[in-house]
Structure 1
Amino acid sequence: MYTDESANISLAHDPLKAIVAPRPIGWITAQSAGGAINLSPYSFFNAVATRPHLVSFCSEGKKDAVTFIEETREFTCSFVSKRLADAMNETSADLPRGQSEYAYSKLGMEASRYVRPPRVSGTPAALECKLISVLQMRDIEGTLIPTFMVIGQVVGIYIDAAYLRDGRFDTAAANPVARCGYADYAEVNEMFCILPPSWRDRST
């Protein structure tokens, strides 16, 4: 079957987020010019480049995180482990403007080294970022839609030494949580390795 909005054929629940899954969670801390701090999780988040390190997240609606980042041009992204999953979910609450998500979720803050916004205390890793751009998205007809993509360059990476193994970040030991569709999440606690193929080896 096909789900087709133009033909008025649809499922009871939007399948997009369940199909594009699992997705890493960008747990973004932003700070306003006046010093207010916002912490919020974004499931439309990912790394987009390595030279230099670039990450992006998308906000449906121009929320405090986007506004604050535009003001100060900095943000952090804290790694969401299974141990922090419930607290991460708490920070998605629709709090009154000015109420702290850190206080509401009983999370502590740790100072960053290269940017002003803090990271989540106890996170296995965090990215410290400087703003590259904020882009408002358009649909296929060129009409602006209320979705904003924030692209940042990573200027510092914090890693809890407990999760380093032979110079590598041990993702499985850090036990990340990923977003799936609906109210579903996934956790990573086991990994497997597949080496990239070599055309030269196969041709000899």
Structure 2
Amino acid sequence: MFYRPEAGHGLPHNPFNAIIAPRPIGWISTRGKDGDNLAPYSFFNAVAYFPPQVMFASTTAKEDRPGMKDTLAHIAETGSFCVNIASGALIDQMNASSAGLAAGVSEFDACGIEAAECETIDAPRVARAPAAMECRSTKIQRLPGEANWLVIGTVTGVHLRDDCVKDGRFDLQQDGWLARMGYRDYAKVQDIFELERPE
């Protein structure tokens, strides 16, 4: 099978996001003039080590935020955001926070998610997240399409939950790393192995 995206694929569901999988989930928390916000993004990843940098893409809009979502509006307003890492133990709360709530309604409150304050930015973080990265945005780039945006940020602070640091390593094997597959599919990654790079 071959298809050109602009011509359509003829399948009942778009295969694009199922091809690029598994994808880590950036559970992004922000604070704006209208309050706190929390939402998961599966177009998310790390992009550099020194200084540490991350990116995520926002690809839809809301009726009460023409052309963008609450997360993006807050980052444009404040220049900061926090990336919370969701584990298998937090999948229900992560999924609940994806609901399209009205601007100004906090997903922390609506979904019963415990919040904690960040250290280097004025934003909340998910208190029970295995890891959280406080970030200053360095670029907000409009992408082709109706509501597609790319956000890049430099990590200014990192929280690691104490029980997730084992033998000097960040380890989520007990809870499982959570990843987005395609369609409505998710994976909890627990089968881990090591590979040595060739000389």
| 1:14 corresponds to | 14
Cα distance in structure 2, aligned partners of 1:88 and 1:35: 21
| 2:194 corresponds to | 193
Cα distance in structure 1, aligned partners of 2:196 and 2:41: 31
Q: Which amino acid aligns with 1:83?
A: A
Shift of 1:12: 1.4
Cα 1:31–1:10 change in 2 (3 A) is: same
Q: Does 1:113 align with 2:119?
A: yes
| 2:58 corresponds to | 59
RMSD, aligned CA: 1.5
User: What SS does structure 2 have at the residue aligned with 1:183?
Assistant: coil
Shift of 1:6: 5.1
User: What SS does structure 2 have at the residue aligned with 1:171?
Assistant: coil
Q: Which amino acid aligns with 2:84?
A: S
Cα distance in structure 2, aligned partners of 1:18 and 1:185: 10
| 2:65 corresponds to | none
Cα 1:4–1:31 change in 2 (3 A) is: same
| 1:164 corresponds to | 165
1:124·1:174 contact (CA, 8 Å) conserved in 2?
no
Cα distance in structure 1, aligned partners of 2:134 and 2:7: 45
TM, length-normalised to structure 2? 0.91
Cα 1:68–1:7 change in 2 (3 A) is: closer
> Which stretch shows the higher mean deviation, 163-172 or 114-123?
163-172
2:143·2:149 contact (CA, 8 Å) conserved in 1?
yes
Cα distance in structure 2, aligned partners of 1:73 and 1:13: 36
- Superposed, 1:118-197 pairs within 5 Å as 118-138=124-144, 145-197=146-198
Unaligned runs of 5+ in 1: 139-143, 199-204
Cα distance in structure 1, aligned partners of 2:102 and 2:6: 37
Shift of 1:7: 5.0
| 2:46 corresponds to | 47
1:175·1:188 contact (CA, 8 Å) conserved in 2?
yes
User: Which has the higher Rg, Structure 1 or Structure 2?
Assistant: 1
Cα distance in structure 2, aligned partners of 1:39 and 1:81: 15
| 1:202 corresponds to | none
Unaligned runs of 5+ in 2: 62-67
Find the partner of 2:91 among 65, 85, 97: 85
2:134·2:155 contact (CA, 8 Å) conserved in 1?
yes
Shift of 1:112: 1.1
Cα 1:9–1:17 change in 2 (3 A) is: closer
In proportion to residue count, which structure has more helix? 1
Shift of 1:4: 3.0
| 1:30 corresponds to | 30
User: What SS does structure 2 have at the residue aligned with 1:131?
Assistant: strand
Q: Which amino acid aligns with 1:197?
A: P
Q: Which amino acid aligns with 1:104?
A: A
Q: Which amino acid aligns with 1:39?
A: L
Shift of 1:145: 4.3
Cα 1:197–1:35 change in 2 (3 A) is: same
